[in-house]
């Protein structure tokens, strides 16, 4: 009996010790993370769950990228000016560095990026659905960010990889969606009527194709048997609307330029983001794209094929690559792409010099580097 009582007493003692061990600490201090074993080693801060990351594409190659953020309602910055440096990310777009900046979402709705020495972005509202900031515009992803414009003498060009740099738009246009001005071949100003009776390099006696006064190598097409000496097949600077209007080394493209574009591109009937119909060339060399809106052409005062044809002037008269019967000085080279009942025809053909066509300038890479 004594042994049984002894065993019961021992069991009660053990149970009592277990219950004590399970009691919460009696200290009034709140629970927290364990103290680091090395107090001199800083622990990684715990980021708030509602944090937001924005990304800055360093288009101007700033050495330092700072972000200043604030609430619009209070006009109060989270950190005093100049804010906090952004962090270089492990990402690039179009060979431009990308910087990251993380902040607590409820602390700010406005941001300004700057380099600390005078250059800065606009003061802009943060768009949390589009976290990538490039040239004062928010984008949803890096893939949405357009390639930076490449400029020469004030005009944007597209490098299609063959050495010929193509203007992004036609002469007289302000964007790729505009057709621009129409010119008769080797004339420098647009006009209301495009015919032999109004053509600059004609005698205007009989108003036909056989009264040429310049760019003529066959006497039967020249006025009173006129021929150029020496033969002049290419537009002179004084008759080149690209040279006169755009300056620098911009010029009317040659047949060879057209051939390179056609041979090294995937051609697709397309439309731009605004719905303008035309033709998109995608380079098989570097993937860059070049858009031509449908232009048609003007004969007299009427515009033809403006909803299905790309037609732009070249810089020369017919040469040996054309059939002998086509090698007449009243015709000049042009780029032709046309849709007819779903069929696409494309190539470099000849058109009457008196017709009105737009012009897409070119400049050569080795001339501007």
DSSP 127-177: -TT--EEETTEEESSGGGSPPPPEEETTEEEEE-SSSEEEESS-TT-SSTT
Closest CA to 66 of 104, 108, 111: 111
pLDDT at 49: 56
Length, in residues, of the chain: 369
Strands 164-167 vs 155-159: parallel, antiparallel or unpaired: antiparallel
Alpha-carbon distance of 271 to 277, in angstroms, equals 4
pLDDT at 227: 97
Strands 155-159 vs 289-293: parallel, antiparallel or unpaired: unpaired
- The tens digit of pLDDT for each residue in 88-138 reads 998 889 889 999 999 988 889 999 999 999 999 999 999 989 999 999 999
pLDDT at 143: 87
Residues of the chain with pLDDT under 50: 1-12, 14-47
Closest CA to 254 of 268, 284, 233, 228: 233
Please count the other Cβ atoms lying within 10 Å of the Cβ belonging to residue 363.
Answer: 22
pLDDT at 258: 98
Closest CA to 71 of 47, 100, 106: 106
Closest CA to 215 of 332, 352, 349: 332
């Amino acid at each position: 009996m004594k042994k049984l009582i002894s065993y019961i007493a021992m069991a009660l003692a053990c149970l009592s010790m277990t219950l004590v061990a399970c009691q919460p600490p009696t200290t009034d201090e709140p629970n927290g993370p364990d103290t680091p074993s090395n107090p001199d080693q800083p622990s990684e801060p715990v980021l708030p769950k509602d944090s937001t990351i924005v990304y800055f594409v360093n288009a101007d190659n700033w050495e330092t990228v700072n972000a200043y953020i604030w609430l619009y309602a209070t006009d109060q910055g989270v950190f005093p000016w100049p804010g906090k440096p952004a962090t270089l990310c492990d990402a690039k777009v179009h060979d431009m560095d990308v910087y990251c900046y993380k902040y607590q979402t409820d602390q700010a709705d406005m941001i300004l990026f700057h380099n600390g020495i005078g250059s800065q972005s606009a003061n802009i509202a943060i768009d949390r659905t589009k976290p990538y900031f490039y040239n004062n515009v928010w984008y949803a992803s890096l893939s949405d960010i357009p390639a930076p414009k490449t400029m020469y003498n004030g005009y944007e060009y597209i490098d299609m990889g063959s050495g010929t740099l193509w203007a992004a738009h036609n002469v007289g246009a302000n964007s790729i969606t505009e057709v621009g001005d129409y010119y008769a071949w080797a004339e420098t100003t647009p006009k209301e009527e495009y015919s032999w009776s109004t053509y600059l390099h004609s005698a205007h006696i009989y108003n036909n194709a056989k009264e040429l006064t310049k760019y003529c190598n066959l006497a039967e097409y020249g006025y009173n048997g006129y021929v150029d000496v020496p033969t002049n097949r290419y537009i002179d600077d004084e008759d080149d609307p690209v040279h006169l209007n755009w300056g620098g080394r911009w010029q009317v493209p040659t047949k060879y330029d057209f051939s390179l574009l056609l041979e090294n591109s995937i051609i697709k009937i397309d439309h731009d983001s605004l719905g303008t119909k035309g033709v998109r060339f995608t380079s098989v060399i570097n993937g860059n794209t070049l858009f031509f809106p449908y232009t048609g052409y003007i004969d007299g005062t009427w515009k033809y094929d403006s909803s299905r044809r790309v037609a732009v002037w070249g810089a020369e008269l017919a040469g040996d690559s054309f059939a002998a019967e086509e090698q007449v000085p009243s015709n000049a080279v042009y780029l032709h792409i046309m849709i007819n009942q779903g069929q696409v025809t494309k190539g470099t053909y000849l058109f009457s010099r008196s017709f009105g066509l737009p012009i897409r300038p070119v400049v050569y890479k080795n001339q501007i580097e």
